[in-house]
Structure 1
């Protein structure tokens, strides 16, 4: 994978100066026209209304990595030891089910709703312990283990027709593609699709666009790259901060790409060099994202 090749480039601009320790999980709520994202380590759920520019956050009592819209209304919080229903209007939280509650060493990480309205979600060690992470699918309220012995599972996303899923183990640097059956369950073994093991930056969060291309955050490289159907870089977004974590399309036409970032592990010198690290960035690419489905629990 030649991440240094000459390709079309956009520059991301600061959208919300929130300076999360570990910004993650941007998710567009199309019904309520809000973008949500999390500060995992700061235990906060942030929101932005793009039409008005208003933004804010909800304090949480545990580490949460995603808040995704529910078909029935409200949000499902993917947390370090449980999945919970959350009502943004009242702030009420109701536990739905445990999530690795018997393992205090892990927390939730990447997650995304598939083309069947089911949730794929991952866990990882709180100190990124090797092999401590796993990948699951929450389908109609039932949680099923799909894969274990992962270190930092990321880049969960799906083709529009539901034929494939993608994911990566950030520590290994290879994006995998997994064939799915008609009900969205994996068939066979995942296969290597794009190799970032020998380039600057590590593959992190990802999202698909309406043209079937995958947008992948490169943690440590200050970039989000767009990959074609063969896993080759065809364009990129550059950021003024080095740790982008995950992209998501939002807004009325889904043409604005929002990118969460982090300042996790930064020294005082690094913070001085990247004062807005951990903030939300955005770029209007003119390319529409793939509309995502709300989560079905039943």
Structure 2
């Protein structure tokens, strides 16, 4: 461990993903997708609580003071935050046992973009969907591994990637609905460089912070796609950053040990843990999702 990073949670997730901070509950939530677990921890030094789930899940959003929305392998589920009770709200690829949810995020207007992918990570069996006030649409089919779903603060721009292809796209959006209004264009070409584009989040200045899988880093990109800085992570498979704290000024990043050989796991004893990065940011709280 270095002076630039500390361990926020020492539970090593096989596939840590989907971190989201709820400022009203003062808790960070995240998932071990492979382990079918939801983790939560009060900021900054609460005890981590691990909830077993009946399915693989990857993302969580706040509906209201009592309820959350979870993106799971068979659709969107409403979760009672106090009891953990789950009820499926809408089916997404529920008839396909070979796919699951992956990277997903709430647009500033309250729409939810949900990514799906093959459980074996092969082919292009996934899609990116839009859900808003009870309506579901498929935006982009034939996706391999959807990642980096995030939005500009004003809701006019959406970002996303198909990780194996190495291209981070941006597309104009209607800020009132979160629907694309144009065709995606390449924002960042990462082909042939170290690691892969994984989860991202955009701060209040429009800076995109990306976790680089197999790169052990979080990169900050300006709205003009200029690299501002790179923060090292003590786990090669960094997966997704999130803003945390009462003013969203701190940043954590999840990681994974999935697929690492025994030798590599020995050389990376912190793989799968969740880290607090020594950086002050102008972060933003995630908006609440509008389900009706």
State whether TM-score is above 0.5.
yes
1:55 & 1:152 partners in 2: Cα distance? 29
Q: How many residues align?
A: 290
**In structure 2, what is the equivalent of residue 197 of structure 1?**
191
1:243 to 237, 244, 248: 237
**In structure 1, what is the equivalent of residue 152 of structure 2?**
159
Matched, 1:225 2:219: yes
Offset at 1:97? 1.5
1:187 & 1:60 partners in 2: Cα distance? 36
**In structure 1, what is the equivalent of residue 257 of structure 2?**
263
1:73 & 1:157 partners in 2: Cα distance? 25
* 1:255 and 1:284 in contact (8 A); partners too: no
Matched, 1:41 2:42: no
Offset at 1:157? 0.5
1:273 to 229, 243, 267: 267
Per-residue Cα deviation, 1:19-49 (whole angstroms, up to 9, x for no partner): 0000000001111111000000000000111
* 1:38-187 paired onto structure 2 within 5 Å: 38-71=31-64, 73-182=66-175, 183-187=177-181
TM-score norm. by structure 1 comes to 0.94
Question: What residue ranges of structure 1 are gaps of 5+ in the alignment?
Answer: 1-8
Pairwise CA RMSD of aligned residues? 1.4
2:210 & 2:151 partners in 1: Cα distance? 13
Offset at 1:204? 0.4
**In structure 2, what is the equivalent of residue 21 of structure 1?**
14
* 2:66 and 2:81 in contact (8 A); partners too: no
* 1:205 and 1:245 in contact (8 A); partners too: yes
**In structure 1, what is the equivalent of residue 5 of structure 2?**
12
* 1:207 and 1:215 in contact (8 A); partners too: yes
Offset at 1:184? 2.0
TM-score norm. by structure 2 comes to 0.96
Secondary structure of the residue that 2:225 maps to in structure 1? coil
1:283 to 248, 252, 277: 277
**In structure 2, what is the equivalent of residue 297 of structure 1?**
291
**In structure 1, what is the equivalent of residue 201 of structure 2?**
207
1:94 & 1:153 partners in 2: Cα distance? 25
Per-residue Cα deviation, 1:264-294 (whole angstroms, up to 9, x for no partner): 1111111111122111101142212122211
* 1:154 and 1:170 in contact (8 A); partners too: yes
1:20 & 1:296 partners in 2: Cα distance? 30
Question: What residue ranges of structure 2 are gaps of 5+ in the alignment?
Answer: none
Change (3 A) 1:10 1:111: farther
Offset at 1:203? 0.1
**In structure 2, what is the equivalent of residue 4 of structure 1?**
none
